[in-house]
Amino acid sequence: MNKHQLPAYLKIGLSSCQWLLVTGSLTFSMEALADTQNTALPPEPTAYPESRQMADQGANESISPVIRHAKQMNEKRREAREALEHEAIPVGMEGSTLAAPNLPVTTQPTAPSKITAHKINSQEDALHTLASALAASPKEGNQTQAILLAAADRGDYLPAISWSLAQKYWGLAEILVANNPGRTPPWVRLSLALHKKDLSTIQTLLDHPADLPPKEMFQAEEDLGRPRQAQALAIKALQVNPFDRELRRMYVDSLAHTASYAGIKGSWQSFNGLQLYGPELNARIHASPFWGIQIQSQNLWQHADSGTQLIDPPRLQNRTDLGIFWQHRRWQGDLSVGEYRGLQNNWTSKLAASWQMTSSTSLSTRLAYHSQTFQSPALAVAGMANRAEVQLAQTFNAWTANAALGWNQYLGQDGIQQGTDTYGELSAFWRSNLGPWEFHVGPFADYHALQRRAAPKGVIAQVLSTDARNMDSILPGSYADYGVRLQWGALEQNLHPGWMPNLQLSVYDNSRFGFQYQLNAGISTAVLGPDRLSLDFSQGQGGNGLALNQRIFALNYRFYF
């Protein structure tokens, strides 16, 4: 059977359709195969131990109240931070950011455990303590409170620690340091060690002084008994920052306690018609920062008016003393021996010592043999005294309390006893800044129990006129004082530059003589640099037991080297 041949164009079209169908089927088959080979089968679920499921469930139940409380606290602080986004940092907070740079926040572990729960509770207690301290300081303001709490919430406790140290909240600072999630810088640990007088920690920190501030390093060297090293550090730091007034003051105070000096003093004293005037030479020379020798020589000319009831007092009296002194971080004192030339010649000696028991408690004692006394004109020209006293001082914030017990024995220069005085004194004062100097004010009270001879005897009786030879011209009976004492200025002026005033006033009632007062005033300045020129004036009844008015002028010059 004959077959008809198809036209050429139909053969070409039919071949093209067959080729397209074969190509499409092959492509689809290859894609399906590739998908089948590249698709990973899902892993089979591993068995979770039943014991671990129970442990995790118990841990979650134990930690959930703490986490819920933390979330609530975080939400409140987040709202406070959002309210402060466009507010300025309060004045006084810039220094804390400079002294305490931000540290990277350490992330807390998310796996629940008993240790984590305890840590969260401890940190929450620290933040609550910080909030309570801020609430007790209303002058800081809401902005300061919010900023410190917000930084602590982020894990940055350093601003709060800086604020605590600046406010001297030592207990709060220790709590924050113990719970600080980040690294506590060395200067914080040094500040706490200085407060606690922890010498071993201080020494350890000074071995690596890279991040320690100059003032804290200076105080650390002083506490370790190395004033020369402290002064060298201060000089180096002041060359970098000559406007650091606080460091300059610390340096000058240290130098005043370790520098040697020589001085001359002229004085004039009017004492109920008795006048005493003359020069005094004194020197204190350091053999080392911790001890040295001291010399003192005083000459006083004496002149008595008829109103003093004195008969031919000696024209001149002289005292010369030579001794040693020592000073350490907690102990200091001096011991001297000498000679007293007047109506008769006598040996003299003196011992004074003080012990800094703690940073706020000190104990001091004073013993004197044949010392000078101004209880009355007769004792001033022909008498002397043996003394013993012990005093305890306690400081609490801005208050300082003192308690003293003492005993005096009054003698003529021939050694004959005229009477004794056993006394006790209580006082307290509050200190504050009034201008650039400190202001002290506080009450005091004392009681003196005196025992006297029936009549004066020996050289004391010889210098008195006949109608004045009675004990009332020499010593009073027992008496008590109570009143108020105030001071403004600086007692230890030493090497401070510029003019510095000193004012002290005591007003009190004496049970035997009534109202009395004692005024001491003075002013001093540097002249050549390492020296001091001072002018002092004193007037009142506080320098003797007979309520006789005394007036003293003194001009003193001291050169340090």
CB atoms within 10 A of CB 256: 17
* Separation between Cα atoms, residue 427 and residue 402, nearest integer Å: 5
Angle (deg, nearest 10), helices 114-135 and 50-83: 20
How far apart, in whole angstroms, are the C-alpha atoms of residue 474 and residue 457?
11
Smallest CA-to-CA distance from 356 within 380, 372, 333, 385 is with 333
Rounded Cα distance, 407 and 146, in Å: 59
Q: What's the CA gap between 515 and 398, in Å, rounded?
A: 29
CA angle 498, 499, 500 (to 5 degrees): 115
Look up residue 457 and give its amino acid: K
- Please give the backbone phi and psi of residue 494, each rounded to the nearest 5 degrees, phi first: 45, -115
- Supply the pLDDT for residue 289: 86
Q: Report whether 384 contacts 370 (CB < 8 A).
A: yes
Q: What integer pLDDT is reported at residue 125 of this predicted model?
A: 57
d(CA 463, CA 293): 37
Q: What is the pLDDT of residue 248?
A: 85
Instruction: Give kind and range of the element (H or E) at residue 260.
Output: none
Overall pTM surpassing 0.75 (yes/no): no
Q: What are the start and end residues of each CATH 2.40.160 domain in the chain? A: 260-560
412: helix, coil or strand? Answer: strand
Provide the 3-class DSSP secondary structure of residue 413: coil
Confirm if 195 and 172 have CB atoms less than 8 A apart.
Answer: no
Residue whose C-alpha is closest to residue 221's, from 256, 174, 254: 254
Cβ-defined contacts of 352-357 (< 8 Å, 24+): 355/330, 355/331, 356/329, 356/330, 356/331, 357/330
pLDDT of residue 139: 55
Q: Which amino acid is at 322?
A: L
Helix ranges (DSSP H) in 347-464: 377-382, 459-462
For residue 556, how many other CB atoms are within 10 A of its CB?
18
Structure confidence at residue 278 (pLDDT): 97
Fold classification of 260-560 is Porin (2.40.160)
Burial (CB count within 10 angstroms: exposed 0-12, middle 13-18, buried 19+), residue 388:
middle
What tokens does 281 get? 């030479």
Q: Which two tokens stand for residue 306?
A: 């008829």
Phi, psi of 326, rounded to the nearest 5 degrees: -145, 155
Cβ atoms of 428 and 441 closer than 8 Å: no
Given this model, what pLDDT does residue 165 score? Answer: 86
Per-residue confidence (pLDDT) for residue 552, from 0 to 100 = 96
pLDDT at 43: 45
Question: Are 282 and 293 a contacting pair, CB within 8 Å?
Answer: no
State the virtual CA torsion across 333, 338, 342, 345 in degrees, nearest 10.
130
Q: Give Cα 354 distance to the centre of its chain.
A: 18
- Can you give the pLDDT at residue 254? 85
> For 267-310, where are the alpha helices, taking DSSP H only?
none
**CA–CA separation, 511 vs 549, rounded Å?**
17
Predicted local distance difference test score (pLDDT) of residue 136: 54
pLDDT by residue for the chain (561 residues), tens only, comes to 444 555 554 554 555 556 555 455 544 444 444 444 444 444 444 444 444 444 444 444 444 444 455 556 656 656 655 544 443 333 333 333 333 333 333 333 333 333 334 444 555 555 556 656 555 555 555 666 677 777 777 778 888 888 888 888 888 888 888 888 888 889 888 989 998 888 889 999 998 887 788 999 999 998 888 888 999 999 999 899 888 888 888 888 888 788 899 999 999 999 888 999 999 999 999 998 889 999 999 999 999 987 678 988 889 999 999 999 998 878 999 999 999 999 999 999 999 999 999 889 999 999 999 999 999 999 999 999 999 999 999 999 899 999 999 999 999 999 999 999 999 999 999 998 877 778 999 999 999 999 999 999 999 999 998 888 999 999 999 999 999 999 988 655 555 667 888 899 999 999 999 999 999 999 999 888 788 899 999 999 987 888 899 999 999 999 988
DSSP string for residues in 194-232: HHHT-HHHHHHHHTS-TT--HHHHHHHHHHTT-HHHHHH
| Residue 70: its H or E element | helix 50-83
DSSP 544: S
Q: Which run of H or of E encompasses 326? A: strand 316-327
